[in-house]
Amino acid sequence: MIGTGSGETTRNETMLLQTVRPNIVQAIRAYRVEDLMAAAEGAGQHFLYANLSSAQSKQEVLEAIAQAFMFPAHFGKNLDALYDCMTDLVHKAGTQPGFVVVLEQLPDNPRFDREAREQLLDVFRDAADYWGERRIPFRCFYSFQ
């Protein structure tokens, strides 16, 4: 998204987020990580990114997300703790402007199969619902290895 001036770039970034429902979890498909990051910045929203290409199991995925999102040291590395960190912990930190989350390269192997991926994505769907009830946009994009 290269514009002739910063105003044009900001409009393009804002338009990118306007094309995506505000509280959704979806495959990244046609979106580029760089564009999503710029759109989040342009809209004043949090951008949370985790590259999970080296993770092979549920535990490794949770550890990689915790590290990338800078969760507290006491993070329990389970799906309930992930939900708590994505909702309650952040909610208690004060007013939130919105979120653009990217989970890149989710594993696709016997140690992290379709069921494990769906359970993980369900946590992010639940977080999207949580923030939606508070009228805070929460968009999560993911891709597979």
Residues of the chain with pLDDT under 70: 1-15
Beta carbons of 75 and 64 less than 8 angstroms apart: no
108: phi then psi, degrees, rounded to nearest 5: -140, 85
Q: What is the pLDDT of residue 144?
A: 93
Q: What is the pLDDT of residue 119?
A: 97
First to last CA, the chain: 26
Structure tokens belonging to residue 124:
């992010």
Q: What is the pLDDT of residue 50?
A: 98
Q: What is the pLDDT of residue 13?
A: 54
Beta carbons of 59 and 116 less than 8 angstroms apart: no
Interval 126-136: pLDDT, tens? 999 999 999 99
